[in-house]
């Protein structure tokens, strides 16, 4: 069986460092590992519209931003296929058939959708499209026979839902679809990077992000005003590192070589944490170090983006070609699905012969 990656992002804003450590960085490593037969990277605009139906301009504007972020982070259109979800109508068709295999009760139990509904303040007025987006996500993954989905922790319930749909479909109609596996970051801090406000998740919708393309000046303002341990008031006070987003970010980003370069008093993060916990290390010093670490990681990404921004039509062209290539793959899967479901009436010679026989008067 081919090893296939399918993953993507909603074009609801520029990508942030949570995306980067949760999924994007891993995708670039996997792309360069050469161990995958195909890699599809999807800009999930149709999914973004499920909770932005009244603000389609936001989605429209951000498609290019996400594409620029992808390529500046190192995804290479020579090695991966970029696609825009809405340009592949086969995905919508698959969603419609899969919806029959999922109950409303099952959708209601999805913890990520539940918390997103709360976060968006939908109350009882949940758009039906939003409520059912895990089904459409199953269509996206299975259309490309994705075997691996590199994603953050919030995607676990979506992949589980997808696996159930695959099992249900294959059980009823025969083995057509492939069950995907999620590939979570190895580093615990990257599973769900918190926001700069200390909120449990950095998220475009919460406005608590550091963006990949943000200027060094603007990142400085954000990092220096970050939430830390509220009881660490004077430098000599002992501080807490758990639940302190500055240290969570260091867990996600800092490598030993950063200490040699920017904080030579320490060999590694454990030593810096120990100093903070026993007291005597101020927040400002830690934040300045974090700022250096983040800038070291983001500077090459910003530089590449500046280059890529010079030819926007070329980026749209890459998205168009990728979407066209992806559509062919999705169309093949849809054909297989419809044959398995036996709703390919006009190609079904057996059906036509059987129905003819029914109305052919018998000889005797
Ligand atoms: P939105 O608020 O519009 O849902 P988002 O910031 O949650 O946007 P998505 O496009 O929903 O971003 O997520 C894209 C990918 O990035 C998913 O794989 C998701 O798991 C991962 N991801 C998003 N936010 C984080 C985070 N804070 N930490 C780790 N991974 C994240
Ligand atoms: Mg999200």
46 pLDDT more than 80: yes
Q: How confident is the model at residue 205 (pLDDT cuts 50, 70, 90)?
A: confident
Q: Are strands 38-43 and 181-183 parallel, antiparallel or unpaired?
A: unpaired
214 pLDDT more than 80: yes
User: Within a domain: residue 41?
Assistant: yes
pLDDT tens sequence across 65-80: 999 999 999 999 999 9
Q: How confident is the model at residue 198 (pLDDT cuts 50, 70, 90)?
A: confident
Please state, in angstroms and rounded to a whole number, the distance separating the CA atoms of residues 181 and 169. Answer: 17
- pLDDT score recorded for residue 206: 82
Q: Tell me if 273 CB under 6 Å of ligand 1.
A: no
Closest ligand 1 atom number to CA of residue 10: 10
Q: Mean pLDDT of all residues in the chain?
A: 95
pLDDT tens sequence across 216-228: 999 999 999 998 9
Q: Tell me if 14 CB under 6 Å of ligand 1.
A: no
- pLDDT score recorded for residue 201: 87
Mean pLDDT along residues 145-160: 95
User: Which ligand number lies closest to the CA of residue 184?
Assistant: 1
Tell me which of 5, 10, 53 to substitute to probe ligand 1's pocket, judged by most ligand atoms within 8 Å of the beta carbon. 10
363 pLDDT more than 80: no
User: Within a domain: residue 92?
Assistant: yes
With contact defined as beta carbons under 8 Å apart, do 200 and 194 qualify? yes
Tell me which of 154, 157, 187, 245 to substitute to probe ligand 1's pocket, judged by most ligand atoms within 8 Å of the beta carbon. 154
With contact defined as beta carbons under 8 Å apart, do 40 and 83 qualify? yes
Mean pLDDT along residues 11-29: 94
Please state, in angstroms and rounded to a whole number, the distance separating the CA atoms of residues 32 and 38. Answer: 12
Q: Do 151 and 15 fall within a single domain?
A: yes
- pLDDT score recorded for residue 119: 87
Classified as helix, coil or strand, 179 is coil
Q: Do 126 and 9 fall within a single domain?
A: yes
Determine the distance separating the centroid of ligand 2 and the alpha carbon of 137, expressed in angstroms.
Answer: 12
User: Which ligand number lies closest to the CA of residue 153?
Assistant: 1
22 pLDDT more than 80: yes
Structure tokens at 42: 């999807």
pLDDT tens sequence across 276-332: 999 999 999 999 999 999 999 999 999 999 999 999 999 999 999 999 999 999 999
- pLDDT score recorded for residue 204: 79
> Could you tell me the CA-to-CA distances from 20 to 36, 126, 244, 249, 322 in Å, in that order?
20, 29, 20, 12, 22
- pLDDT score recorded for residue 362: 79
- pLDDT score recorded for residue 209: 95
- pLDDT score recorded for residue 199: 83
Please state, in angstroms and rounded to a whole number, the distance separating the CA atoms of residues 21 and 36. Answer: 20
User: Which ligand number lies closest to the CA of residue 44?
Assistant: 1
CA dihedral over 296, 297, 299, 304, signed as positive or negative: positive
Q: Tell me if 185 CB under 6 Å of ligand 1.
A: no
Q: Tell me if 204 CB under 6 Å of ligand 1.
A: yes
Mean pLDDT along residues 235-247: 94
CATH number of the domain within which 24 lies: 3.40.50.620
Determine the distance separating the centroid of ligand 1 and the alpha carbon of 16, expressed in angstroms.
Answer: 9
Q: Do 294 and 346 fall within a single domain?
A: no
> Could you tell me the CA-to-CA distances from 47 to 63, 106, 163, 322, 360 in Å, in that order?
12, 19, 19, 19, 50
- pLDDT score recorded for residue 60: 98
- Those residues whose C-beta lies under 8 Å from the C-beta of residue 288, and which sit 6 or more positions away, are none
364 pLDDT more than 80: no
Give the CA dihedral 108, 114, 117, 118, nearest 10 degrees: 130
Q: How confident is the model at residue 166 (pLDDT cuts 50, 70, 90)?
A: very high
Determine the distance separating the centroid of ligand 2 and the alpha carbon of 34, expressed in angstroms.
Answer: 28
Q: Do 39 and 75 fall within a single domain?
A: yes
Mean pLDDT along residues 21-49: 96
Cα–Cα–Cα angle for 79, 83, 85, rounded to 5 degrees: 155
- pLDDT score recorded for residue 200: 80
Closest ligand 1 atom number to CA of residue 191: 29
Q: State the total domains in the chain.
A: 2
Q: Do 160 and 277 fall within a single domain?
A: no
DSSP secondary structure code for residue 361 in this structure: P
With contact defined as beta carbons under 8 Å apart, do 55 and 295 qualify? no
With contact defined as beta carbons under 8 Å apart, do 190 and 21 qualify? yes
Determine the distance separating the centroid of ligand 2 and the alpha carbon of 218, expressed in angstroms.
Answer: 24
Q: Do 118 and 17 fall within a single domain?
A: yes
Q: Do 334 and 299 fall within a single domain?
A: no
Determine the distance separating the centroid of ligand 2 and the alpha carbon of 154, expressed in angstroms.
Answer: 8
Q: Do 75 and 121 fall within a single domain?
A: yes
- pLDDT score recorded for residue 10: 96
Closest ligand 1 atom number to CA of residue 202: 27
Distance separating the N- and C-terminal Cα atoms of the chain: 53
Determine the distance separating the centroid of ligand 1 and the alpha carbon of 237, expressed in angstroms.
Answer: 35
CATH number of the domain within which 253 lies: 1.10.240.10
- pLDDT score recorded for residue 145: 98
pLDDT tens sequence across 90-149: 999 999 999 999 999 999 999 999 999 998 899 889 999 999 999 999 999 999 999 999
Determine the distance separating the centroid of ligand 1 and the alpha carbon of 21, expressed in angstroms.
Answer: 10
Determine the distance separating the centroid of ligand 2 and the alpha carbon of 203, expressed in angstroms.
Answer: 7
User: Within a domain: residue 50?
Assistant: yes
Tell me which of 22, 42, 50, 206 to substitute to probe ligand 1's pocket, judged by most ligand atoms within 8 Å of the beta carbon. 22
Tell me which of 42, 157, 203 to substitute to probe ligand 1's pocket, judged by most ligand atoms within 8 Å of the beta carbon. 203
User: Within a domain: residue 199?
Assistant: no
Structural domain of 182: 4-192+311-351
Q: Do 296 and 326 fall within a single domain?
A: no
């Amino acid at each position: 069986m081919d090893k296939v990656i399918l993953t993507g992002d909603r074009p609801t804003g520029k990508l942030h460092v949570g995306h980067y450590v949760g999924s994007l960085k891993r995708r670039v490593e996997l792309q360069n590992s050469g161990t995958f037969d195909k890699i599809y990277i999807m800009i999930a605009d149709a999914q973004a519209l499920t909770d932005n139906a009244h603000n389609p301009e936001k989605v429209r504007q951000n498609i290019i931003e996400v594409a620029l972020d992808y390529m500046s982070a190192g995804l290479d259109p020579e090695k991966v296929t970029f696609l825009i979800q809405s340009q592949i109508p086969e995905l919508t068709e698959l969603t419609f058939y899969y919806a029959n295999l999922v109950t409303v009760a099952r959708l209601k139990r999805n913890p990520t959708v539940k918390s997103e509904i709360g976060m968006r303040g939908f109350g009882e007025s949940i758009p039906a499209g939003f409520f059912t987006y895990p089904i459409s996500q199953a269509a996206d993954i299975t259309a490309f026979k994705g075997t691996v989905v590199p994603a953050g922790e919030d995607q676990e319930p979506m992949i589980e839902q997808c696996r159930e749909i695959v099992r249900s479909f294959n059980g009823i109609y025969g083995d057509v679809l492939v069950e995907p596996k999620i590939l979570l970051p190895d580093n615990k801090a990257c599973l769900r990077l918190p926001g700069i406000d200390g909120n449990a998740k950095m998220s475009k919708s919460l406005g608590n992000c550091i963006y990949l393309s943000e200027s060094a000046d603007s990142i400085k303002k954000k990092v220096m005003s970050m939430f830390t341990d509220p009881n660490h008031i004077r430098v000599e006070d002992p501080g807490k590192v758990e639940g302190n987003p500055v240290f969570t970010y260091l867990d996600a980003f800092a490598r030993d070589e950063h200490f040699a370069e920017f904080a030579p008093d320490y060999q590694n993060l454990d030593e810096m944490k120990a100093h903070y916990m026993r007291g005597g290390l101020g927040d400002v010093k830690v934040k300045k170090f974090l700022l250096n670490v983040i800038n070291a990681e983001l500077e090459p990404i910003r530089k590449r983006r500046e280059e890529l921004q010079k030819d926007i039509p070329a980026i749209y062209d890459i998205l168009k070609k990728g979407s066209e290539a992806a559509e062919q793959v999705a169309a093949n899967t849809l054909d297989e699905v419809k044959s398995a479901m036996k709703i390919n009436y006009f190609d079904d010679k057996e059906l036509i012969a059987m129905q003819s026989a029914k109305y052919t008067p018998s000889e005797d």
